[in-house]
Amino acid sequence: MAMIRTARIRAGVLPMAVLALLVTGCGTERAGSGAGADRASSRTPVATPSTPVDFPCPGESPTSAPPAATSGTTPAVPPTDHYAENHGFMVPFPLHGKRRCEGLQAVGRVERALEPLRKRRDFAPESTRTALTGLGYPAGRVSSYQNGPTGVGFLIDAFPLCVEGTMDRSSTKAEAFGGYPDHSGCDRPSGGH
């Protein structure tokens, strides 16, 4: 009977010894010091996601640099109330590279098509929609709406390229973007996670 009891104790000691050895050894090496310093210098760097490349698009002046890929609506320091995190689904994706050039071209075409309406003070959503479908966008992909007493808003859903803007007495403004997170389409999502 004593033999069985001793075997059980020995069987339990080995796993405990291995566990103690593992716990003691964890986290004791620091980068650049000790025995691991030589191994750390020979490690291959980890690949990081590439930053989108923006270049001047046709028609852009060389002095006006494209927006930096790091400039966005997300703050450098996360807010303590999680507002930005909870509303991130409503922040549109910026366009980069060739897609950005296509977006700038679409914005220019839209603004040129709507400028005659603005000069005539024709802010009827139907007129705006007709002008935008005249550019070749399908009628089912163009929406326009009254924006205040003397203005009109519009959205062109040519996903993955989206063009949204407003027109009023003082100006015609349009912006191109690449849709929204957690949503396939150009209309701004109304609910998040």
Please indicate, yes or no, if residue 153 is contained in any of the structural domains.
yes
Please indicate, yes or no, if residue 150 is contained in any of the structural domains.
yes
Report pLDDT for 77.
Answer: 54
Report pLDDT for 118.
Answer: 96
Three state DSSP letters for the chain: CHHHHHHHHHHHHHHHHHHHHHHHHCCCCCCCCHHHHHHHHCCCCCCCCCCCCCCCCCCCCCCCCCCCCCCCCCCCCCCCCCHHHHCHHHCCCCCCHHHHHHHHHHHHHHHHHHHHHHHHCCCCHHHHHHHHHCCCCCHHHEEEEECCCCEEEEEEEECCEEEEEEEECCCEEEEEECCECCECCCCCCCCCC
Report pLDDT for 71.
Answer: 40
Comparing 144 with 78, the larger pLDDT belongs to: 144
Please indicate, yes or no, if residue 143 is contained in any of the structural domains.
yes
Report pLDDT for 123.
Answer: 96
Identify the weakest region by mean pLDDT among 76-85, 114-123, 157-166: 76-85
Domain range for 133 is 83-177
Report pLDDT for 91.
Answer: 84
Please indicate, yes or no, if residue 23 is contained in any of the structural domains.
no
Please indicate, yes or no, if residue 173 is contained in any of the structural domains.
yes
User: How many domains does the chain contain in total?
Assistant: 1
Please indicate, yes or no, if residue 128 is contained in any of the structural domains.
yes
Mean pLDDT computed over 128-154: 95
Asked whether residue 102 carries a pLDDT value surpassing 60, the answer given is yes
Asked whether residue 161 carries a pLDDT value surpassing 50, the answer given is yes
Please indicate, yes or no, if residue 185 is contained in any of the structural domains.
no
The model's pTM = 0.63
Report pLDDT for 57.
Answer: 86
Report pLDDT for 73.
Answer: 47
Please indicate, yes or no, if residue 42 is contained in any of the structural domains.
no
pLDDT band of 9, cuts 50, 70, 90: low
